[in-house]
Structure 1
Amino acid sequence: METVYLDAAETRAVREGDDGRIADTLSEYGFTPGNGEAVDLPGDVVNHLAHLGISGQPSHIAGYRIVVTDKCNMKCSYCFVDTNTGAPDLTEEDLRLGLDLLFEVNRGRPEVTYQWFGGEPTIRPDLMMAGDHYARELAEKFDVGSIQPTVVTNGAKINDDLIAHFKEFRYGVGVSIDGPPPTNSNERLLLSGKPADERIHRNIQRMLEAGIHVGANVTPTQWNVHELPDIVDYILSLGIKFLYVNTPIPAHGTWIAHGPDLARNLYQARMRALSRGGMLFSHLDRIYQALDSRRPRVFEHLQGCGGVNAALLPGGRISLLDLNWRDPRFIFTLDQIREDHSLLGRAAKDLHPFDGCKTCPALAICGGPSQNERLLRRTQIPTDDFCGFFNEGLALAVADNTALQ
């Protein structure tokens, strides 16, 4: 079996169903019906990964999330970043030394990517601009084909200078929007307590008119999860064609959206976006990708090139986890990473370590919670919402014709 495992009852339903084409289609895509006997599903996945030449040991840092500052002009209740703590910003020296390492280990590659992050990174446009110009120099020095900077921003502080810079460096700009103004203002307000929707919308239009690639980052919560299809309509009405729905980050120890509800509404939102010429990306894509390509997608933080995306932090430090910057087990100096690449393996996922994983039909797509998920929840055990999301999403995707292309 390549990616998804059917249990005995599901196998009988496929075999004995009125429409034999279901079985034929699944067979063509590697879903071989079993006889209901007990099998070692985790072992099968590990063996198949070895057959595909996929290893959990990353060889290098493939990209950065550059944490410029923890300062932010907004306060969002679900944010996993402790903002406005008074901690020092990244220095230009930290930035240059960190970029040196990134380009050294990616010598000769066609592209190097990095993302500006905060807090609110546009509070320090000087660092962003200096870093991009230095990255361009390093790309030439290390024979890297191109650089691809991106930024995650609330969009409230975009000005003419930044727009010109984004255009020059062909930025991807991800603006955080959780819905129309009444929905967005539930959790996303300026520090003054006032909404900034009109200002953000104006800045989005200015960037689009300048030809900048703008996408929307939507965070699903208990307040907007049932509105996701309508939120797609709203964001498309702004002229944005690319949407990314974040995985609920358990900043307070649990998901802030019910997993099965999220899967169902993401499914509807995906269809809504496709029907209107938009593209919606989410954690649900891992299921579709597995169905389409028959390659297990169990390393959510490992790229196909064998690299890991790390966070560049103030003080010349690197966190191997791009969403967790506190746990000392994953934080190292630049020199430590240079001297011992085996340290990167600490970011690797411990595949399906729980008893429930052994019989889970989503096993080969999920693989168990990532290190980020575990640390943010402060427990090693996956939440019911995490498991429910993948199981519900898998059931929807298998029945969806667009999954089998």
Structure 2
Amino acid sequence: MAVPRMLWGKYFRYERAGEAVLLDPVGLDSVFIDSGEVRDLAGVPPTATHEALAGLGFTPGGPAADRREALHDRLRHLGLDAVPRRISGLRVVLTDRCNMACTYCFVDTNTGKPDMTEDELSDGLEFLFEQNAGQEEVSVQWFGGEPTIRFDLMRYGDRLADTLADRYGVARVRRTVVTNGARLTDEVLDHLVAYEYGVGISVDGPPGINSANRLLLGGRPADDRIRRNVARLVEAEGLHVGCNLTPTAANIGRLAETVRWIVDDLGLKFVYVNTPIPTAGRWQVKGADLAKELYEARLAALGRGGMLFSVLDRAFQALDTRRPMLFDHMQGDRSLNAALLPGNRVSLCDINFTEPSFLHTLDELRADPGLLAGVAKEVAPVPECGDCPALAVCGGPSRNEQALVGGDTPDPEMCAFYTSTLEIAVWDDTGVQ
């Protein structure tokens, strides 16, 4: 990816084969300039291209604004706030026991810690529904370890959720489970169908790719078993079955091939690509390579009647709506998905169960809703963010990323990913955003 040039000290200018795209990194307006207009723009103003750009709001002159401050002003103008209003969904961590030992898992599994109890689950669900009295929807996602190991708690929790929804006037409970797919009894399948579950199967590709990082505790792959269980889930009526795909060293370079296999061979039409997070203090993949691969994989899915969602969509959505897409820790209604942990604890970040600043008891959250601000993103925390074309799409590291890298300076590969993602988005002409 080429470094974009600046125009008038205000706009990023992406050039390709004599053509260009101008991008306002704060307002997110963009405009395509063909080769003739590029030549005209190089002439002495006012040329026809200068006048046309002015009509679209692209003008030279004016104060050299601090982009970080300009973005903060825009967020205030749009009423966008990083502080969540309430917790509307819980990722319920039933157990850390797992039948697999995936090398990249962000959860410490099989540690011997106690599973969640029925009383703890009851308290957590009661909190969720009381916080959302009268709302249209709450979400409950069963998680582990491998959550189906505690299917008894899933069944108990689903029955209780229906009771609480009636009590608190919540119109709908959206239920999902994230599973490795290696364990699926008839009883579990019947339950998932009865409650119209969304099922996310964690698969990273064909057996040769999947087994690089995902093996049973005994060291054997489970791909044949997983494939049989996926087929059962896909054939069941009323289920919404998708794939959770994690980019790893084993599938980078083969993501499009992997997605074609997931859609064609597994029959899973919805693919969600997990956002890479730094482990051991740094990203484990090359950011620019990942951005390019996600775009190719997205087109591969669409070409087969599937859908692929990833962080790449944030750039598309930002350019389509002209609204910053910074607050990935929140839902569109400014509510939060948090993690319910054993011991009546809640992590405000649903993928970090250990960072002390995220952890609170249910009683603490009831007493002080302002604690939700502890997960709020600090936008553009370092001056260098003001020089980044992806300012209004990335906005710097999240609180979780800051905790993992031990500071507020973004990982270089994270920066490369977002700047590359933005360049892909400004040139995209497929019409499939």
TM-score range, shorter chain: over 0.9
Of 361, 366, 369, which aligns to 1:338?
366
Instruction: Look up the match of 1:352.
Output: 380
Secondary structure of the structure 2 residue equivalent to 1:214: strand
Instruction: Look up the match of 1:35.
Output: 60
| Deviation of the 1:40 alpha carbon | 1.7
Distance in 1 separating the partners of 2:36 and 2:104: 45
* 1:233 counterpart letter in structure 2: R
| Deviation of the 1:35 alpha carbon | 2.8
Instruction: Look up the match of 2:160.
Output: 134
1:349-385 CA-to-partner distances (Å, cap 9, x unmatched) read 0111112101100000111111112223333321111
Paired residues for 1:1-400 under 5 Å: 7-8=6-7, 10=13, 13-14=20-21, 17-18=34-35, 32-35=57-60, 38-211=64-237, 212-237=239-264, 238-400=266-428
Q: Give the TM-score, by structure 1 length.
A: 0.93
Does the CA contact (< 8 Å) of 2:382 and 2:408 recur in 1? no
Does the CA contact (< 8 Å) of 1:324 and 1:375 recur in 2? no
Which structure 2 segments of 5+ residues have no match? 23-32, 42-48
* Counterparts in 2 of 1:353 and 1:332: CA distance versus 1, 3 Å: same
Distance in 2 separating the partners of 1:31 and 1:326: 49
Does the CA contact (< 8 Å) of 2:14 and 2:423 recur in 1? no
Secondary structure of the structure 2 residue equivalent to 1:190: coil
Does the CA contact (< 8 Å) of 2:161 and 2:173 recur in 1? yes
Distance in 1 separating the partners of 2:134 and 2:227: 39
* Counterparts in 2 of 1:123 and 1:20: CA distance versus 1, 3 Å: farther
Distance in 2 separating the partners of 1:31 and 1:97: 55
Q: Which of the two has higher C-alpha Rg?
A: 2
Does the CA contact (< 8 Å) of 1:71 and 1:83 recur in 2? yes
Instruction: Look up the match of 2:44.
Output: none
Higher RCO structure (Cα 8 Å, ≥6 apart)? 1
Secondary structure of the structure 2 residue equivalent to 1:74: coil
* Counterparts in 2 of 1:403 and 1:335: CA distance versus 1, 3 Å: farther
1:210-242 CA-to-partner distances (Å, cap 9, x unmatched) read 122110111101221110000011000111000
Runs of 4+ in 1 over 6 A off after TM superposition: none
Which structure 1 segments of 5+ residues have no match? none
1:279-322 CA-to-partner distances (Å, cap 9, x unmatched) read 00001111111111111111111122221211101001111111
CA RMSD of aligned residues (A): 2.3
Distance in 2 separating the partners of 1:127 and 1:111: 21
* 2:245 counterpart letter in structure 1: V
Identity of aligned residues (%): 50
Secondary structure of the structure 2 residue equivalent to 1:318: strand
Aligned residues between the structures? 397
Distance in 1 separating the partners of 2:256 and 2:57: 34
* Counterparts in 2 of 1:128 and 1:251: CA distance versus 1, 3 Å: farther
